[in-house]
Amino acid sequence: MQTKIEFRKRQLEKLANATLETNASGSKLAEKLFATDMWQQAQTVGLTLAGEIEVPTELISIQAKREGKKVFYPRTLPGRQMVFLPADTKKELEMSKFGVLEPRYDAKKIQTDIDLLIVPGIAYALDSKIRLGFGGGYYDRYLKNFLGNTVSLVAPAMAYPTAQWPIDEFDVPLQNMITLTD
């Protein structure tokens, strides 16, 4: 079995070549999400601003706001910690050291009570519901104490029947995964 570093490198190349397919699957995956009880019951949603190789999240943000849900975005902090903050306009965002847009830090606006967290990743093991992220460990640290519902939208290029990478004891399984074949 490859190391996580080796698998991640190969997977990022695969996703770069599958960008059109991943983007095309975004609206179908979002529609499936909107039909779930966890979505319909959520009042607060944690969501990333997706990068080019990820399942698009803009439609989810728009729908959440249309339905009166509050949307919060991750902000990375020192010590590989992460918090969620609001960002209603692009002016409230700034580029992180990872090249990702994040909300500006404001300790007074940190949201600790999120009903539904849509968790990003680059690969997903469908049997164990383990995800592989970009390698910083931010989400696994956050998920360790997270009490709300978790879900990932899994494009075809991201789905694996079982993990093709080592699973560590600190990897936190997701509660739900939505694929095109569900």
Inform me whether the pLDDT recorded for 182 exceeds 80: no
CA dihedral 66, 93, 97, 150 (to 10 degrees): -20
Angstrom distance (rounded) from CA 1 to CA 90: 42
The mean pLDDT value for 40-62 works out to 96
So what's the pLDDT on residue 23?
Answer: 95
Among 70, 120, 53, residue whose Cα is nearest residue 61: 70
Tell whether the torsion through CA atoms of 145, 67, 74 and 161 is positive or negative.
positive
- Residue 123 has a CB neighbour count (10 Å cut-off) of 24
The mean pLDDT value for 97-110 works out to 91
0.85 exceeded by the pTM? Answer: yes
Domain boundaries, the chain: 4-178
The mean pLDDT value for 82-95 works out to 90
- What is the share, in percent, of the chain residues with pLDDT greater than 70? 100
Domain 4-178 part of CATH 3.30.365.10: no
DSSP 51-119: -TTSPP-HHHHHHHHHTT-EEEEEEEEGGGEEEEE---SGGGEEE-TTS-EEEPP-GGG-----SEEE-
So what's the pLDDT on residue 96?
Answer: 87
Inform me whether the pLDDT recorded for 59 exceeds 80: yes
pLDDT tens string 21-36: 999 999 999 999 999 9
Buried (b) or exposed (e) across 89-110, using 16+ Cβ within 10 A? eeebbeeeeeebebbeeeeebe
Inform me whether the pLDDT recorded for 97 exceeds 90: no
Name the token pair of 48.
């990333």
Confidence of residue 99 (pLDDT cuts 50, 70, 90): confident
So what's the pLDDT on residue 1?
Answer: 82
- Residue 84 has a CB neighbour count (10 Å cut-off) of 23
Phi-psi bin for 68: left (phi > 0), alpha (psi -120 to 50), beta? left
So what's the pLDDT on residue 152?
Answer: 98
Name the token pair of 155.
């494009």
Q: Are 9 and 123 in contact, with CB atoms under 8 Å apart?
A: no
Name the average pLDDT for the chain. Answer: 95
